[in-house]
Structure formats: C-alpha cells, structure tokens
Structure 1
Amino acid sequence: MSDALPGTAAASLVPGQAVARPLPSMLLCLSHLRWDFVFQRPQHLLTRAARTYAVVFFEEPIFHPGIAPRLDRRQTPEGVTVAVPLLPEGMPAGAAVAAQRQLLDELLAESAAASLIAWFYTPMALEFAGHLAPAVTVYDCMDELSAFRGAPPRMLTLEQELISRADLVFTGGRSLYEAKRNRHPRVSCFPSSIDTSHFAAARQGADDPADQAGIPHPRIGFFGVIDERMDAGLVGALAAARPDWSFVMIGPVVKIDPADLPRLPNVHWLGGRSYPELPRYLAGWNAGFMPFALNESTKFISPTKTPEFLAAGLPVVSTAITDVVRDWGPKADGGPGLVEIAAEPVAFAAALQRVLEQAGAPWLKQVDRRLAQISWDQTWAEMDGQIEAALRAATRQKSGADTTTMRRAGHV
C-alpha cells in the first residue's frame, strides 16, 4: 500500500481523458490515544469523518533504541491514515518536539487537500503543531486530561491556549460542557453515543468465546480501560461478598500496577478485546457494572459503555458518576432510571441482585425508546454541520482579506 496521502481524485468519462474532482479537506487529528488501543469516541467519529474528509490520525511518538526519526503510516479499512512518529530512545524532550514538528510538516507537505481542519484531543499537541494555520480548529474535549494520573504540568496552560485558538469546542458530556462553556463562545455538548446495531447483536445470543465458556453464571461484566478510574477495592469487596457471582473484566490495564487488582477465584481478568469481539462476550453476561472510583479523574467522565451495555440488553449498576446519574439514573420525580446507582459494596450488591431479577421486556422497551434518540451517525452529522459552517466562514474571511489586500495594492 502506498504511503501517499489522499490527494486529487480523478475520473475518466472519455477514455484517456481525466476529469478532476474537487479535493477533499484534510482532517488532521492530534491524539493522546492510540488508534488500536480501545475503540471509543475518536474512532467512532473519525471513521465517519473519513467518508468525506482525508483523515489523518497523528499519534504520540513511540521510542525505539538506535533508530532515526521517521513516520510510520498505515491506512485502516475505514480509510483513516494512522501516523506514528518513531523516535530514538533517550532523545531529549526538546529534540523530540522538534522531530515531531518536522515529521508533521513533511506529512502535510505531501497533501494537496482543499483546506486543513485541525482536530485536537490533547492540548499537549500544541508543542509541535502550534505553528499550523488551519482553516478550522476543533477541540474535542472528551476528558479532563489534567486530572488524570501523570498529566504534564503544562496541560492546563496549553489547554487555555488551545481554547483561545479553537473555532469550535466539543465536549464529551454535560459535566465537561458546564466546565468549559464559559471559556469559549462556541462550546457544544456531544455526550457519549451508541452504535446500537453493533451491540444489539448480543441480544441474539452467541457461543461463548473459549476464555469465557468455563466461567459460571451469573456473570457480572465490565469492559473498558482499567486504570486509576476503577475502584479496585469495590470490585474486590463485591467478589468477596458474592462468591456465587462471577465478575468478568475485559480491558487493558494501564497506569496502575496489575498486582493491585483483586485476585479472587470469581474475578476473571481477561485482558483487552477488540470492538468486533465485544458483543459475543456481552451475550454471555447477565448484568453489567461500572465500578468507577469517585475521584478527580472521574469527575467529568461520560462513559461510552453506558449506552453500549443497554444496547446489548444488559441491566447495569454504576457508582454515582455525575453524567451517568443525570443522563441514565433515577429521574428527578423519583421514577426509575435505566441504570441503577449505588455506592458502597453492600448497596452495590443489593442493586446488582435487583437488576439480575429485573423483568426484561418492559425495561428493554424503555431502553430502546431512549437509544432510538441517539447514534454516532447523528452525533457526527451535527458536528460536521458545525465544521462546514466554520469552513464557509473561514473561506469568506479569506476572500475578504484577499480583496482588501488587492485594493491596497491598487489591483481592484
């Protein structure tokens, strides 16, 4: 496969005669996440963006001993170009930033895109991409990264600079929206959404994957990144209190010591699984749980897995994450929600017992009515509408500036 970026497209209506098509705009995503890590918000949005934009997903560097700086590139089946800077191990921080900037400039120099849209997931990317002059800058703030373990000290300063540069700011949930809405004139809330048909396949049942087949029922499951946001103590206490339940844990372990996770006979740490594999695992669960710790790193999260559990037909119990409580928990009038909320182990176990006994059909009808109102397709369409409007405004502004320059030069 060629490493060349998408450029001019051409069609031939008459043999031997090429007809130029309009160039697509390039959407350059600058991300702190790896494309192949966990399929979540960036992947959902950018695979849809790739239908109309030339999408480049520029990752953080990987360091190897004894190599010269270079850019590793590949294209996903959805048409997203994943670009990974490969840098020599031990490279000083300043030199690493300069190398990333050079690799990015070389990549962009190959493109003949109509315009550039810079899409930031991390403010830290300004260190090597701050010199760019995109037609539109988008900050898709999916997490409060400054609250995460190991966040660089400059994160907050660079975030303020990014917000001041951005044409559009999107947030991944209501709590983040409320935290950012007064910092920019165009902040829009786009909470976690859902590819319903993908997870609804779990409702049809499936043969258990080999590593799950021998796990006894009832099975309580979790899938997602396992890091400082998980309340490992709660998981251990639940497993100890209910040895007759099996707790199935799917996801990569990062930023925490795996030795600190509870190791009980009924807790099964299966590791990461791909997005296509998840429905098959969920089909064999009896309920889901979201044992998030209540700390600075979870204060603003809006877990994508909430509607994914529901689409799979699984009742779910969560700790009191603000966006889960407000969007999916019990109603203000005291009516039941779609997700049970609990805190300490005894109450959490009681809530899980209730959802395991929950009648399926009436609850599922409520779930399906709610999920019918949201989708990643709809979320992307609304975002794209804002981007197109910003591109038109940028074009008008550039055209006006060009006319003023020509007038001053006496050409108009």
Structure 2
Amino acid sequence: MSVLKLLKHLYFRLPLSPAMRHRLGLLKRKLVARPGNPGRSSTADVDAPRLERATMDQSSGIRLQMVAQSQAQVEGADLQTADETLGLGLGEETVAVFFSVIDWHFRHQRPQQLALSLARRGIPVFYISVNFVDDAKAGFRFERLHPELQLYQIFLHVRGAHSVYSDVSDGEILRQQKLGQRMMWEQFLIRDAIHIVQHPYWTALASSVSASKLVYDCMDFHAGFSNTSQAHHLGEQALIGQADLTIVSSDYLFGMASEAGAKALTVIRNATEYAHFHKAYNPSQPHPKPVIGYYGAIAEWFDVDLVRSLALAFPQVEIRLIGADTVNAQAQLKEFSHVRFLGEHPYSGLPDQLAAFSVCIIPFRIIELTLATNPVKVYEYLSSGKPVVAVDLPELRSMDHLVARCSNTASFIASVGAALNENDPQKQQARMAFAAQQTWEHRASDLVLKLRDSSHEPLVSVVIVTYNNKRLTERCLKSLSDPKLQGAYAVPIELIVVDNASSDGSIEMLQAWNQLRPEPFAPLCSRKVILNLENRGFGPAVNQGLASAQGEYLVILNNDTIVTAGWARGLMRHLQRDPELGMVGPVTNNIGNESMIRLPDDSIKQTCLAARRYNLDHAGERYPLRIAAFFCVMMPRRIYDLVGGLDERFVPGFFEDDDYCLRIAQAGFKIACAEDVFVYHELSASFDQLAAAKRAAIFERNKALFEAKWGPWIPHQYRPVSADTNG
C-alpha cells in the first residue's frame, strides 16, 4: 500500500480529532507537493486535481510554480499558456470566495454543496481551505476541483503550524494572508467578489476587502464546540455586526444573530443531494437482517448512553455506527458485540451504507450546540425513504409527520421498535417527496436570490455636478451604472446629476440618459437630472443635489472620474466601522493632496490594475486626512444633517471642500482616505476650461474668504514617500 493510500485509510478509519485530521491534511499536502505524486480527489464528481503554487519572489512579482500534476496533464502543456487560461472569463464576473469551516475533502456537507451549486450556475468559486501551507513567503497553492467548472480550493501560505480552530489571524499572520489573498485576486483576474464566511476565524481577512459584499453563513453554534476560543466568539460577534447579510441554518441561530445586531438576516436550512442518497432506496431488495444505523460525527454531542439503552433493548439487532469516534464511544460500548463501529466513510459510499439501514437514528445529546443544529443527515436519511427516529431537536418539529421525534429514552426505544416493524410504502413515498424538494440546488437558488436582494442595503445617493465635458460625463455615468463594471451585488445607487447650463450637448445627452431603463442587476436604482438655466457654481449645485437625495450615505463625485468595482461599498464600510469617522474618500491617481498615490499612467487600464494591487495590499486600512478633496467623498446622512450643505459663498469653486472638512472636524469627527478604494480622476476638467488669469482671481478671492473664516490657509500636501508603498 502506498503512503498516500495508507494516509487515506487512516484518515477515514481512525477516531481522529479535528486537530489530528488537520495535521494529517498538512502532511498529505506536503507529500502531494513532491514531483511525480499526482493528487486525487476523494469527491466522486471531481477529476484529478492540480495543485499549483503562487509565491512572492524577491521583486514582489508573482511566480507560478507547478508542484503536482498528472502525467496526462503535463504532456504537451505550455505551463505559461495553461496558467493564463485559468483567468479567462473571470474578469467581468463577480466571483464567490468561501472562507471555509472544513477542508473540501472532509465530509461533503453544506460548505462544499453550496460552493459546488454556485459553480454549476456559472459563478467562479474559490474555496479557502482551513489547511495552510507552511511557508514563510506570502502566497498560495490551488487545486482545481472540477474539470469543467471554475471551482478551486485555495491553500494560503502561513509561517509555522497554524490552526483555524485554535489560533487567531492577526499581526504578521494576517499580513501574510492578505498578501496571499491579493495574489489570488491578481492570478485569477478577479474584479469583484462576494466573501462568504463560514467560520469566525476568517473575520479579519474576509472583511479586510472593504469593497466586497460580506456574507456570514452561520451554520453552527460555534461557541458550543469545546475548541472554540474566546477570540473566535468575539470574532463572530464582530462578523455579524459587519456582514452585509447573515445567513443562518436554524431558528435558534436566527435569534442569536438577531440579538448580536445583524444588519440583514435570513434562514437557509440544510438540505440533501437527493439523487445521491435516493440510490439507497431499493424496495425490491429485502434486508437480510435488521440494522439500526447512524452516520456522522461521533463527537461530544453524540449520546453514548442513549445508544447503550438501544443496545440493551435490541440485543439481536445490529447497531451500525459510521463516522469518526472522537469521544471513545467504542470503548464505552465494547461489551455490546452487536454495536459495530465502522469508522469514517467517504461521501461517495454513504448511499451503500444507508441502503443497509432498516431505521436511521439521530442520537444527540440535548445541549445548546444541538438545539441550534439543523441536521443535514435528516434530509439525507429521508431521501432514501427510511424511517427516522431522533431526539427532540427544535429544527425537526416541522417534520413531525415524517420523523419520530422523541423527548426521552423510553419513547426513543419504542419508536425504533415501531420503525423496525414498519412496512408502509406511502410513508416511504412521503419522506422521499419531501426530501426531493429540499435539495442543495433549491438552497443555492435561495442563496443567489438573497445575495442579489439589495432591498436591505443602505441607499447611496451620488451627486454629480456637470458643466460641459460631455464625453467625461458619459464615461463617468457608465462606470457607475454598468453591472459588468460594478458587479452583480453592488449597493443600490441613487444618481443625481445637476447640470450648470452646459452648451456642448450634455443637456440632451442627460435627458436621453434619464429615460433609459435600468439594466438587470445594475446598481443604479434611481436617477434624477436637475437642469439649471445658468451656471450656479459647484457649491450651490452640490447643495441642490444633496437637498433632493434620499440616501443614507451621500457622495459628492466629479464627472471626470471613473469609479471601480465595489467603490461605494468600500467607502461605506469604513464609515460603518468607525462612527467617529465623518467623511471618507478614496485614493486616486491625480489630486493635489495625500489621497494621491503614485501609479503608472500609460493607460487607464494600467493605472487601475496597479491601483487594485495597492488597494488589496492595504485592505481594510485608511490614511488620516485633514482635508478631503471633493472629487469623490462620502459621508453619512447624519453628518450632513448636522453640518449642513456647502458654503455657497465659495463660488464658482475652490475652498468649499477645505471649509466643509473643517466644519466636520469642528463637530468632532474625523476625515480619512480609504486605502483600499480607488477612483480614477482626470483632475479639474471643469476649471481647465477657465483662463489661467480668471482661475487665479477666483482662487485668491475664495482664499481670502476662507482665511477670514478660519485663519491662515494651510496648503494641501502630498503624502510622504515612506507612506506610499508604490513610491
């Protein structure tokens, strides 16, 4: 037997704890990484996986190295061409990144099922494994999980031994993971992503990309597990508070998340892969002998005493227990020869085991962990038509017509006895009919609908003032409204354009634009055009727009900008995280203060690509500002209500932004630049139309007004080179 086969045998048969399984998984990865060892997936519908590695070289570039590949894949392959092919088609799509609770190859359950179902819908899926690669360099390895779907498992590099279940992601570990995350985005040309978090460990990493929609898939009461640290509990509370959407699998978890302050909350219960488990239904093949069966974890929530009572009550009936035994249940029940422990079985073989069961049991202890559980196995059991006997779990109460739910040991034993004698085809059909409507495809459809539902999201009102520059305005409007540019899950936008008596065809263009129907899944949900009969100047026109805005967050945006994917959510996230932050703007390529970072200017595309790297390298960070430049700023409505509109004395422009920022600071709030949000800027397109002498006169006049109000003006400055990693 090969070393890999021996490891697999041990993995599935021995009563290993999660920590031991984690260590074995790491050892397997190291063995697979040796040249000539092709990796194989344990999932039935997965082709030979390909493990590849992306690492950071000394020049901070990306170097891709093949570390394991089957001979058939290697022959005749151009590795550079094959690598480039991996990213094709991803650029315009919103991808789903699952921050997992288990490795892909460990018990095919909710995490893998939802990820696979989304991939089947054409959504590229990246499944971040709980197993890491022990490497001091930032980077990641990836495994293609399906030959036809864009479905990958990602193994981030982490220095030293590290466990999702017992350790915390912070400091240098978090920094290394963030770099690996950035490299993944670059390697796969990711424009926009939804982050679906399934364990609190990932809170810091997943929430660091402010522009990504953050979803918490809460499938367990994590505090109920013995290996959950206090840090993870606090991380879960923070995650629920930050998540744009929290999904729970049970009513108990719904109540918990609601009390924790979830912004938006929905229930998506567990389900079954019906076609897979329905294979166990074979009424024409009688059982040679009765079997009371269970498969799943034999862990701290497994009621050994209840199984002992069953063994005493049915001494002639085999009790078959399938799963990893981490509580020494086998030793506790060793006096019963008819109680058989078969160890862990692969997912692909479970229907064969289920087919041999006469009655299926769920013998759990009634503790907070199980009170919060919506058991996957009940849906899988019912797919076979088998009778199911369970303890009194709240999530089973809606299935009383299908499941024997028992409140004590005596009723459990009686129900098992009745189930062993059952011969009712109608009951079998009723169970299977129910299960057929509770599939992972049904749940994935619900998930997609919930992800696309922006009705619970805060409305962002964007005010744009225009004066000629029709081409730039058209470009700006397209970047704001195109779902291919903004992704399918952007925050809803109310767009208000105030035109200051343009004469270059802008008015006609805006009138036509205002009549357009919104594209499906476009972020733009409302549009309004205000046409001034004269050029009122920047401040008064902005005030017109702000006065008509309905949003919870207000944006002032120049028309010579191009917004990037997730820009509005990214800015909003910083304001939501810190209630003392009164205004925030993005980094940009062209402005006269610290918001500018040095970027290549060969083309807009190259500038935006370089900016994306900067944003990802500084995920979750912000740079303090004294004055924000009003090419793009966002503030909460409460700040606008407190501070009021722009001072209209600073017409037609200059110093209205300085004045407004000082008013915000005077009210006790901070101003910052979001280091992880980029907006492209042409710089002063409207004022460039003015003659230099007239510009200078306006500047000096408004400077005098400003200094009369605030004292000597402090000129804007660029940030120090040391604060700009692109410098």
Give the TM-score category using the shorter length. 0.7 to 0.9
Whether the 8 Å contact between 2:133 and 2:140 is mirrored in structure 1 is no
Query: What is the CA distance between 1:300 and its match in structure 2?
Result: 0.2
Within 2, Cα distance between the matches of 1:179 and 1:402? 32
The aligned counterpart of 1:405 is: 557
The equivalent position to 2:101 in structure 1, one of 32, 43, 53, is: 32
Partner of 1:46: 115
Mapped contact 2:138–2:179 kept (Cα < 8 A): no
Amino acid at match of 1:321: L
Alignment match, 1:83: 154
Q: How does 1:85-104 map to 2 (within 5 A)?
A: 85=156, 87-90=158-161, 94-104=171-181
Q: Which shows bigger deviation, 388-397 or 158-167?
A: 388-397
Tell me how far 1:244 sits from its aligned partner.
0.7
Of the three residues 362, 368, 375, the one matched with 2:439 is 375
2:556, 2:88 → 1: CA distance? 30
Structure 1 residues 165 and 196, CA gap change in structure 2 (3 angstroms):
same
Q: Deviations over 1:52-106 (max 9, x none)?
A: 2211111224476x98675332111254211123545457965444433332232
Q: Deviations over 1:286-310 (max 9, x none)?
A: 0100000111221200001112111
- CA-to-partner distance for each residue in 1:317-355, whole Å, 9 max, x for gaps? 10111111x2212xxxxxxx2111224433322110011
Counterpart among 366, 386, 393 of residue 294 in structure 1: 366
2:337 to 265, 270, 285: 265
User: Which residue does 1:316 correspond to in 2?
Assistant: 388
Whole-angstrom distance in 1 between the partners of 2:230 and 2:375: 25
Structure 2 length-normalised TM: 0.49
Partner residue, 1:334: none
- Look up the SS of the partner of 2:320 in the other structure: strand
- 1:46-125 maps to which residues of 2 (within 5 A)? 46-51=115-120, 52-62=122-132, 71-77=140-146, 79-85=150-156, 87-90=158-161, 94-125=171-202
Q: In 2, distance between residues paired with 1:261 and 1:306?
A: 26
| Aligned partner of residue 431 in structure 2, secondary structure | helix
- Please state whether the residue corresponding to 2:203 is helix, strand or coil: helix
Counterpart of 1:16 in structure 2 is none
Alignment of 1:131-210 (within 5 A): 131-181=208-258, 183-204=261-282
Q: Is it true that 1:394 corresponds to 2:491 in the alignment? A: yes
For 1:8, give the aligned amino acid: L
The alignment yields a C-alpha RMSD, in angstroms, of 3.1
Match of 1:384 among 437, 448, 451: 448
Asked if structure 1 preserves the Cα contact closer than 8 Å seen for 2:241 and 2:263, the reply is: no
**How far apart in 2 are the matches of 1:403 and 1:128?**
27
C-alpha distance in 2 between matches for 1:354 and 1:134: 56
Instruction: Name the residue aligned to 1:18.
Output: none
Once the two structures are superposed, what CA deviation does each residue of 1:271-292 show, in whole Å capped at 9, x if it has no partner? Answer: 1122221111111110100000
Q: Go from structure 1 to structure 2 and tell me whether the alpha carbon gap of 1:315 and 1:258 turns closer, same or farther (over 3 Å shift).
A: closer
How far apart are residue 145 of structure 1 and its match? 0.7
**Residues 238 and 2 from structure 1, CA distance in 2 versus in 1: closer, same or farther, beyond 3 angstroms?**
closer
Q: Deviation per CA, 1:381-405, whole angstroms, max 9, x where unpaired? A: 1211222344444274787999832
Which residue among 233, 249, 256 is the counterpart of 2:321? Answer: 249
Q: For residue 262 of structure 1, what is the amino acid of its counterpart?
A: L
Secondary structure of 1:317's aligned partner: strand
> Considering only CA atoms, is the larger Rg found in Structure 1 or Structure 2?
2
1:142–1:371 Cα change, 3 Å: same
User: Given the alignment of the two structures, is residue 7 of structure 1 paired with residue 87 of structure 2, yes or no?
Assistant: yes
Contact 1:229 1:292 in 2 (8 A): yes
Q: Which stretch of the first structure deviates more once superposed, 198-207 or 308-317?
A: 198-207
> What's the counterpart of residue 305 of structure 2?
233
Whether the 8 Å CA contact 1:174–1:323 is kept in 2: the answer is yes
SS at match of 2:230: coil
Give the Cα–Cα distance (whole angstroms) in 2 for the partners of residues 206 and 81 of structure 1: 41
Encode CA deviations 1:128-177: one digit per residue, 9 max, x unaligned. Answer: 33321243111111111112111011223212221222111111122222
Does residue 418 of structure 2 align to residue 357 of structure 1? no
SS in 2 for 1:394: coil
Report the residue type matching 1:404 in the other structure. I
Question: Contact conserved, 1:38 with 1:225, CA < 8 A, in 2?
Answer: no
Amino acid at match of 1:292: F
- Residues 135 and 127 from structure 1, CA distance in 2 versus in 1: closer, same or farther, beyond 3 angstroms? closer
Normalization by structure 1: what TM-score? 0.83
Partners of 1:186 and 1:363 lie apart in 2 by 38
Describe the SS at the equivalent of 1:374.
coil
- When residues 207 and 279 of structure 1 are mapped into structure 2, their CA distance, relative to the original with a 3 A threshold, is farther
Contact 1:196 1:311 in 2 (8 A): yes
Q: 1:23 to 1:295 in 2, by over 3 A?
A: same
Q: Which amino acid aligns with 2:264?
A: R
Q: Report the Cα offset of residue 187 of structure 1.
A: 0.8
Give the C-alpha shift of residue 314 in structure 1.
0.8
Greater RCO (CA < 8 Å, at least 6 residues apart): 1
Secondary structure in 2 matching 1:268:
strand
Amino acid at match of 1:7: G
Q: Distance in 2 between matches of 1:345 and 1:29?
A: 40
**Alignment size in residue pairs:** 385
Provide the C-alpha distance between the structure 1 equivalents of 2:88 and 2:139, rounded to a whole number of angstroms. Answer: 25
Q: 2:243·2:263 contact (CA, 8 Å) conserved in 1?
A: no
How much has 1:2 moved relative to structure 2?
7.4
1:327 matched to 2:398: yes
Query: How far apart, in 2, do the equivalents of 1:239 and 1:224 lie?
Result: 19
Output one character per residue of 1:202-261: Cα deviation in whole Å (capped at 9) or x when no partner: 1127999xxxx9xx721011111221111112112211332111111112234x346655
**Separation of aligned partners in 1, 2:115 and 2:349:** 20
In the alignment, residue 282 of structure 2 is paired with which amino acid? Q
Please give the per-residue CA displacement for 1:19-76, whole angstroms capped at 9, x wherever unaligned. xx86222211111211111111111111011132211111224476x98675332111
Counterpart residue number, 2:404: 340
Q: Counterpart in 2 of 1:14?
A: none
For 1:185 and 1:114, locate their aligned partners in 2 and report how far apart those are by CA, in whole Å.
25
Local SS of the residue matching 1:230: coil
Structure 1 distance, partners of 2:132, 2:437, is: 40
Q: What is the alpha-carbon distance in structure 1 between the residues aligned to residue 312 and residue 157 of structure 2?
A: 45
Alpha-carbon contact 1:135-1:394 (below 8 Å) kept? no
Deviations 1:99-136 (A, max 9, x none): 33332232223232231110000122123333212431
Q: Percent sequence identity over matched residues? A: 21
